[in-house]
Amino acid sequence: MHTLSRRRFLSGTASLSAGLLGLPAFASSPPVLRAAASRAQLAPEGYATTPVWAYSVEGAGSVPGPEIRVRAGEAVRYRFANDLPEPTAVHWHGIRIRNDMDGAAPLVQAPVMPGGTFDYDYIAPDPGTYWYHAHNRSWEQVARGLSGPLIVEDTSPWAGLDGAATHEETLVLDDWLLEQDASIVEGRWDDLHAASHGGRMGNLITVNGRAQPVLPLERGTRVRLRIINAATARIMPLALSGLAARLIALDGYPVSPRDAEQIVIAPAQRADLVIDVPNELTDEAGIYVDAGRQRFVRLLDIALTGGIADLHVRDVRPLPEWASPVTFDLSDPQRETIVMEGGAMRGLGETYFEGELLGGRALARRGMVWAFNEAANRMDRPIFELPTGRTLHLTMQNRTAFPHAMHLHGYHFAVIARNGQSDPDRDVRDTVLVNVNETVEIALMGQNPGDWMLHCHMLSHQAAGMMAWFRVV
């Protein structure tokens, strides 16, 4: 792995010559990350391009946005420029970040107005696979294309297998709701039917912005796949057959390696997998997604390259220990509970919204169909407060008829129990899928003061009531 990404190298060179010319050095003018209207070839060749909203660093915008890559402990610095027709902000999903850099508008910063800029400048402390995305009207802005991968490399290179090179590929999965002419379906961003069911589901699944692209893989090599689900609503149950896939990290955090022929990646979740590329692919070998009702769709076409090699499937070593593991002390935790209610089939009883107690119909007129603890979009005050140094034991009960991908900003947490049974894997995550009628218990230690959002990452659910925040003091 390299120490400096190409972009940093180029910036460094530019700043050197700027310095010689007596102009301000790089330190005072970070590269510009821009959000603007663009076009992308999402549908297969032969179809029209799609008008999207896209991020760019230099040159044209792309969907997904440009991959941002730093080493753990390095700074991420961008002047963000909003060239969109509406206010926006950039959230750095999963990063243990300074609160005022978190991008959760309007909680921790004012949204950046059209034509405005905002300087993001923070340290990315922990290695892993992360992503960045718009965080204002995200149910519209992310669905229009505003997301991209953020890769934080380990400071010590990971030799996944002695003597064999380990390549890596970032695969950003997305789901688009397109018209026949390939344009994005407009004007139903707050559609209550979709919002009260599984969310705004798409009709075209893409990998790195293309429908069923070709992934070249070299025979006999070991490849690390960094898979990111950037979809606004679609849970991606993946099947990887004939590739000897093993899971090595979830949401950026190492797990002890385990088989991953089937893996479910909910919106905003990430999974790092290792595959050993065989010499021949069997007919069914490939990566598939269950697009509903057990209809498995091939996500990409694998093209084998290189000559016959003699690598065979071997053990996968765990990733290096994360320098700052998630610690907690369950002997005397602060206990909190979040009860999720509402949605189609079950509905909402009397619920608070903006300080008023309202019935289901009045709530629906205001676009609210979900609630946490009998309040829809509780943004006026924190749902709980946690002192730094104190362990939080949070129980999340899903009393709705739909699964929810629950995300906490600024923190990773350990999943300690499901339905009252302690979870042997104790996976550490920043987004956990809580299934229908399921209760999930998580733990974390307060260590990063500030106001942190807690919401469902099915973004139409967030829009329609599943949004709150907690304060760490």
Site residues for ligand C2O per CB under 6 A:
91, 93, 104, 133, 135, 268, 407, 409, 453, 455, 457
Residue 461 interacts with, from ligand C2O, Cu ion, none (CB under 5-8 Å by kind): Cu ion
From Cu ion, ligand C2O, none, interface partner of 77 (C-beta below 5 to 8 A by class) = none
To Cu ion, the closest distance from the beta carbon of 466 in angstroms equals 5
Toward Cu ion, which CB reaches closer, 128 or 403?
Answer: 403
Q: Which of Cu ion, ligand C2O, none sits in contact with 184, Cβ below 5 to 8 A by type? A: none
Compute CA distances 218 → 112, 169, 215, 349, 373, whole Å.
44, 12, 10, 57, 51
Closer by beta carbon to ligand C2O, 135 or else 412: 135
Task: Specify the residue, 53 or 288, whose C-beta has the smaller distance to ligand C2O.
Answer: 53
104-115: b (≥16 Cβ within 10 Å) or e: bbebbbebbeee
Phi/psi for 90 (5° steps) reads: -110, 125
458 binds, among ligand C2O, Cu ion, none (CB under 5 to 8 A by kind): Cu ion
User: By rule CB under 5 A, what string of x and - marks binding of each residue 405-444 to Cu ion?
Assistant: ----------------------------------------
Return the structure tokens found at 157. 């290179």
Which partner, ligand C2O, Cu ion, none, binds residue 200 by CB below 5 to 8 Å per kind? none
**Is 458 near Cu ion (CB under 5 A)?**
yes
Q: At closest approach, how far in Å is the CB of 229 from Cu ion?
A: 14
Cis peptide before 64 (omega within 30 of 0): yes
CA distance 76 to 55: 16
CB 92 within 8 A of CB 118: no
Which is nearer to Cu ion, 200 or 393 (by Cβ)?
Answer: 200
* Rounded least distance, CB 31 to ligand C2O, Å: 22
407 binds, among ligand C2O, Cu ion, none (CB under 5 to 8 A by kind): ligand C2O
Tell me the closest approach of the beta carbon of residue 142 to ligand C2O, in angstroms: 8
Q: By CB under 5 A, tell whether 461 contacts Cu ion.
A: yes
Residue 352: CB atoms within 10 A of its CB come to: 18
Q: To the nearest whole angstrom, how small is the minimum distance from the Cβ of residue 166 to ligand C2O? A: 28
Torsion angle in degrees (nearest 10) through CA of 185, 460, 95, 158: -60
Q: Does residue 270 contact residue 229 with C-beta atoms inside 8 Å?
A: yes
Compare residues 204 and 344 and give the one whose CB is closer to Cu ion: 344
CB of 456 to Cu ion, least distance (A): 3
In the complex, minimum distance from the CB of residue 141 to ligand C2O, in angstroms, rounded to a whole number: 12
Q: Which of 404, 407, 409, 455 binds Cu ion (CB under 5 A)?
A: 404
Closest by CA to 354, choosing from 388, 327, 323, 377, is 377
Residue of closest CB approach to ligand C2O = 93
77 binds Cu ion (CB under 5 A): no
Q: How far is the CB of 218 from Cu ion (least distance, A)?
A: 40
CB of 461 to Cu ion, least distance (A): 3
Using the contact rule CB under 5 A, the part of the chain among 79-87, 230-238, 420-428, 460-468 near Cu ion is 460-468
Closer CB to ligand C2O, 61 or 410, in the complex: 410
Choose from ligand C2O, Cu ion, none: what does 135 bind? Cβ within 5-8 Å by kind: ligand C2O
C-beta of 70 vs 268, nearer to ligand C2O:
268
Q: Which does 456 bind (CB under 5 to 8 A by kind): Cu ion, ligand C2O, none?
A: Cu ion
Q: Is the peptide bond before 106 cis (omega within 30 degrees of 0)?
A: yes
Q: Does 456 bind Cu ion (CB under 5 A)?
A: yes
Shorter beta-carbon distance to ligand C2O: residue 35 or 316: 35
Between residues 109 and 138, which has the closer beta carbon with respect to Cu ion?
138
Residue 390 contact, options ligand C2O, Cu ion, none, Cβ 5-8 Å cut-off depending on partner type:
none
| Type of residue numbered 434 | V
Q: Considering the complex, what minimum distance in angstroms separates the CB of residue 197 from ligand C2O?
A: 21
- Residues 323/412, Cβ–Cβ less than 8 Å: no
The whole-angstrom separation of Cα 428 and Cα 419 is 17
Q: Which does 268 bind (CB under 5 to 8 A by kind): Cu ion, ligand C2O, none?
A: ligand C2O
Q: Which residues bind Cu ion (CB under 5 A)?
A: 404, 456, 458, 461
